[in-house]
């Protein structure tokens, strides 16, 4: 592993090992020159290939012919930001350093800066870090209204960091924490570095879009139902290690009781409901389009259901708001009953009233007649009794 360049009086050693440290002597005639070779080795765990939220471990080992120096270690990440490491072990010969939890943006070339005053050492050692994971937020919420289409997307950074080692994954759905999980699709990376997806569930109505950005996992719900809400978790697996990203799908629906056109003088109750859960600063609100602020009704924070009773036809909107940002709206048109329908209703009401009045009169007349017949029958019974008593008296005489 060594070559001597006589012209320049140089010794070239390749693939240095820790055991190569020592005193090297160059003899030229009666002249002798001594050089101390101090070797430092930096190793990174998992060969520099990590999943997001994993903690890398650096092992710095040194060997020297003289007493080992006390090294100070400074780290700079791929964005040239200084990183304060946690030194797990330090015994001069070996330093074990734990870094922070990695994010996908930490991928790139890092620098380990080594310094010592005696002997004087100022050395920068660069090393590569690749972090495979999702570019989505840790917890993402997606909002949809009933019967509308929605696309759920998870963006991987495998193309960005040129990740060529194989990984697999799957997408699962469950309605809430603790509920049964359903596998919707699984995926893997091909030899060309492309993602290949396979649909697993035939009982759940969803599609895999054909055109999509590279390194993305997508499912499309063509027509969202209220019970399609819940947690959609995409899980990535590499060498028996896992990383995951979750999207919470919140679905909104609106109903009216009674349904149908609103007649004059009647009222209807509009109900707006979301599947939840909501953020701590989220609330629902009903408001008429082109109406006044006095007509707006708001729910309490985090309430998932809001009702409003109205007696005026028109277009009403239910909004889901987080802070000052309207996340989703559902418009509901309350139709006004036609004039002839109102006339029929009024006529039916008047006719019904007259019918009730007539029935009441008929009942009164029938009652009076029944009372009179009852009294007449009573008088006749009394007369028969009286005649019977008179006949009895005549027989006794």
CA-to-CA separations, 96 to 56, 62, 109, 156, in angstroms, rounded: 11, 12, 20, 31
Positive or negative torsion for Cα 351, 353, 355, 361: negative
Phi, psi of 222 (to 5 degrees): -65, -30
pTM of the model: 0.75
Q: Is the pLDDT of residue 362 over 80?
A: no
Domain's final residue, options 295, 314, 334: 334
pLDDT above 90: percentage of residues in the chain = 52
Q: Do 186 and 106 reside in the same domain of the chain?
A: no
Do 301 and 282 touch, CB atoms closer than 8 A?
Answer: yes
Last residue of a domain, one of 289, 318, 334: 334
Q: Tell whether the model's pLDDT for residue 340 goes beyond 70.
A: no
Structure tokens that stand for 145 in this block: 């209204």
Residues 301-312 have a mean pLDDT of 90
221 lies in the same domain as 278: no
Query: Are residues 37 and 58 both part of a single domain?
Result: yes
Q: What is the pLDDT of residues 42-52, one digit of tens each?
A: 999 999 999 99
Range of the domain at 21: 2-132
CATH number for position 311: 2.60.40.10
Residue 342 pLDDT > 60, yes or no? no
Name which of 159-163, 318-322, 327-331, 360-364 the model is least confident about: 360-364
Is residue 123 a part of any domain in this protein?
yes
Contacts of 339 (CB under 8 A, 6+ apart): none
Asked which of 35-44, 133-142, 350-359 is least confident by mean pLDDT, the reply is 350-359
pLDDT at 6 > cutoff 90: no
Assess if residue 198 is contained within a domain.
yes
What pLDDT, in 10s, does the model give residues 80-110? 999 888 887 778 899 999 988 999 999 999 9
Higher pLDDT, 262 or 170: 170
Check whether residue 115 and residue 68 sit in a common domain: yes
Question: Among 168-177, 287-296, 375-384, which is the least confidently predicted range?
Answer: 375-384
In a shared domain, residues 59 and 114:
yes
Pairwise pLDDT comparison (382 vs 5), residue with the higher score: 5
- The answer to whether residues 22 and 126 belong to one domain is yes
Rounded Cα distance between 387 and 195, Å, is 115
State whether 144 and 106 are in the same domain: no
**Mean of the pLDDT values across residues 245-260?**
92
Collapsing DSSP to helix, strand or coil, 163 comes out as coil
pLDDT at 395: 53
In this structure, are 113 and 148 located in the same domain?
Answer: no
Q: Is residue 342 part of a domain?
A: no
Q: Tell me: do 122 and 34 sit in the same domain.
A: yes
Residues 12 and 96 in one domain: yes
Identify whether 345 is part of a domain.
Answer: no
5-14, 174-183, 251-260: range with highest mean pLDDT:
251-260
Domain-embedded: residue 359:
no
**Contact of 55 with 99, CB cutoff 8 Å:** yes
* Residue found under tokens 């939890």: 101
Whether residue 78 is contained in a domain is answered as yes
The predicted model gives 243-258 an average pLDDT of 94
Kindly state whether residue 126 falls inside one of the protein's structural domains.
yes
pLDDT at 254: 95
- In this prediction, residue 345 carries a pLDDT of 43
Whether 17 and 125 map to the same domain: the answer is: yes
Q: Assess whether 266 and 247 both reside in one domain.
A: no
pLDDT-derived band at 212 (thresholds 50, 70, 90) equals confident
Residue 314 falls within a domain, yes or no?
A: yes
Instruction: State the pLDDT confidence band at 347, using cuts at 50, 70 and 90.
Output: low
Question: With bands split at pLDDT 50, 70 and 90, how would you rate the model's confidence at 368?
Answer: low
Q: What average pLDDT does the segment 165-183 reach?
A: 89
Domain count, the chain: 3
Q: How confident is the model at residue 274 (pLDDT cuts 50, 70, 90)?
A: very high
Q: Which of 251, 268, 292 is where one domain is finished?
A: 251
Closest C-alpha to 217, from 201, 194, 239: 194
């Amino acid at each position: 592993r060594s070559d001597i360049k006589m012209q320049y009086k140089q010794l070239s050693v390749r693939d240095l090992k820790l055991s190569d440290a020592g005193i090297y002597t160059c003899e030229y005639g009666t002249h002798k020159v001594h050089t101390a070779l101090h070797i430092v080795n930096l190793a990174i765990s998992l060969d520099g290939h990590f999943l997001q939220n994993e903690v890398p471990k650096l092992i710095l080992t040194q060997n020297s012919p003289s007493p080992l120096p006390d090294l100070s270690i400074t780290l700079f990440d791929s964005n040239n930001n200084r990183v304060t490491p946690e030194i797990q072990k330090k015994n001069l010969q070996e330093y074990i350093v734990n870094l922070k939890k990695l994010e996908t943006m930490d991928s790139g070339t890092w620098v380990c800066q080594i310094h010592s005053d005696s002997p004087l050492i100022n050395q920068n050692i660069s090393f590569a870090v690749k972090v495979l994971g999702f570019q989505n937020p840790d917890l993402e919420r997606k909002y949809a209204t009933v019967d509308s289409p929605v696309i759920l997307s998870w963006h991987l950074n495998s193309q960005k960091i040129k990740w060529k080692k194989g990984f697999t994954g799957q997408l699962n759905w469950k309605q809430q924490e603790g509920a049964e999980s359903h596998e919707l699709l699984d995926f893997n990376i091909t030899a060309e570095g492309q993602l290949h997806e396979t649909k697993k569930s035939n009982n759940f109505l969803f599609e895999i879009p054909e055109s999509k950005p590279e390194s993305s996992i997508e499912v499309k719900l063509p027509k969202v139902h209220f019970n399609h809400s819940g947690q959609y978790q995409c899980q990535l697996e590499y060498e028996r290690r896992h990383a995951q990203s979750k999207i919470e799908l919140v679905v909104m629906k609106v109903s009216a009781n009674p349904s149908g056109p609103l007649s004059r003088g009647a009222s209807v109750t509009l109900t707006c409901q979301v599947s939840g859960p909501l953020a701590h600063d989220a609330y629902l609100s009903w408001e008429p389009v082109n109406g006044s602020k006095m007509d707006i009704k708001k729910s309490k924070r985090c309430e998932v259901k809001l009702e409003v009773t109205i007696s005026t036809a028109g277009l009403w909107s239910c909004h889901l708001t987080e802070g000052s940002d309207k996340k989703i709206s559902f418009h509901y048109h309350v139709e006004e009953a036609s004039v002839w329908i109102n006339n029929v209703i009024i006529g039916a009401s008047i006719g019904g009233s007259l019918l009730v009045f007539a029935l009441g009169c008929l009942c009164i007349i029938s009652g009076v007649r029944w009372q009179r017949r009852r009294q007449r029958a009573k008088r006749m019974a009394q007369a028969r009794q009286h005649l019977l008593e008179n006949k009895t008296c005549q027989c006794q005489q």
